[in-house]
């Protein structure tokens, strides 16, 4: 039952990722952490996010902005080891609280116009890329810092959504190298990988007919619910 629920969550997250360009881990982190625990759940989420990005890249290759992507990627690679160190140092309860806090911060970041306005040019890219790389390894939630930079630097949505897949893929490779592979049974991981690839495929078809604002609204509703449940679990773990 656990792997079935996780596969459904991965499928939905992949569909939304393909339609909007963002949101895979934001949707997945709540269910996956509740089903597999803080460390294993995020490890699975990071690996599946890598699968989703690698599957999507061939579909958006021509829209990738390589120069802008590079200025976000290299600061993220530099900051990534600090995220991995934090994961190793924190106990499970603290890690659950950290994941929920990052999820809430990620959800709120897009509503802070002053934040986006300050993230422009190469300096803004370095700041955003560093935050995204750190957050990707720690929780998989690297999209919002990148989105904030895209808004501040007036990056066209189509090009940004395509370039984000490349950036997520690089951060995913680094994160898997630092965190290691999931400890779950191979058949469970295989099922989740298949569900993710299927979600990207279905999302490609639906992207022609489903308005991005509808998918984004669904993503936000699921993400808020997931973050809240993880927060409650973290608070309960402190007192258990």
Question: Where along the chain do its domains lie?
Answer: 2-238
Q: How far is CA 182 from CA 12, 34, 164, in A?
A: 21, 15, 24
> Closest by alpha carbon to 98, among 239, 235, 195, 194?
235
pLDDT of residue 78 exceeding 90: yes
Tokens (6 digits) for 156: 């066209």
**Do residues 129 and 75 touch, judged by C-beta distance below 8 A?**
yes
Integer Cα distance of 152 and 58 in angstroms: 27
* pLDDT surpassing 70 at residue 120: yes
More confident residue, 85 or 195: 195
Closest C-alpha among 236, 191, 235, 144 to residue 4: 191
Query: Are 146 and 126 contacting, i.e. CB atoms less than 8 angstroms apart?
Result: no
pTM of this prediction? Answer: 0.82
Average pLDDT of 31-59?
88
Question: Residue 114: pLDDT above 70?
Answer: no
Per-residue pLDDT tens over the stretch 168-195: 999 999 988 988 888 888 999 999 999 9
| Separation CA 21–CA 233 (nearest Å) | 29
Percent of the chain past pLDDT 90, that is, above it, reads 27
């Amino acid at each position: 039952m656990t792997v079935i629920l996780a596969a459904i969550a991965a499928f939905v997250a992949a569909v939304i990722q393909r339609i909007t360009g963002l949101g895979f881990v934001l949707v997945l982190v709540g269910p996956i952490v509740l089903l597999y625990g803080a460390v294993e759940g995020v490890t699975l989420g990071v690996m599946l996010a890598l699968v989703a990005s690698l599957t999507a890249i061939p579909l958006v290759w021509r829209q990738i902005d390589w120069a802008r992507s590079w200025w976000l990627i290299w600061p993220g690679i530099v900051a990534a080891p600090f995220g991995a160190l934090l994961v190793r140092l924190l106990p499970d309860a603290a890690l659950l609280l950290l994941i929920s806090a990052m999820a809430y911060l990620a959800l709120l970041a897009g509503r802070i116009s002053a934040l986006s306005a300050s993230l422009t040019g190469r300096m803004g890219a370095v700041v955003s890329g560093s935050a995204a790389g750190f957050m990707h390894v720690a929780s998989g939630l690297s999209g919002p810092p990148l989105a904030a930079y895209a808004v501040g630097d007036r990056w066209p949505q189509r090009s940004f959504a395509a370039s984000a897949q490349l950036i997520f893929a690089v951060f995913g490779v680094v994160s898997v190298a630092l965190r290691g592979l999931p400890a779950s049974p191979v058949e469970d991981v295989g099922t989740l990988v298949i569900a993710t690839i299927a979600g990207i495929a279905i999302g490609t078809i639906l992207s022609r007919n489903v308005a991005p604002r509808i998918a984004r609204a669904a993503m936000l509703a699921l993400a808020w619910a997931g973050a809240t449940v993880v927060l409650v679990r973290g608070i309960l773990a402190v007192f258990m």
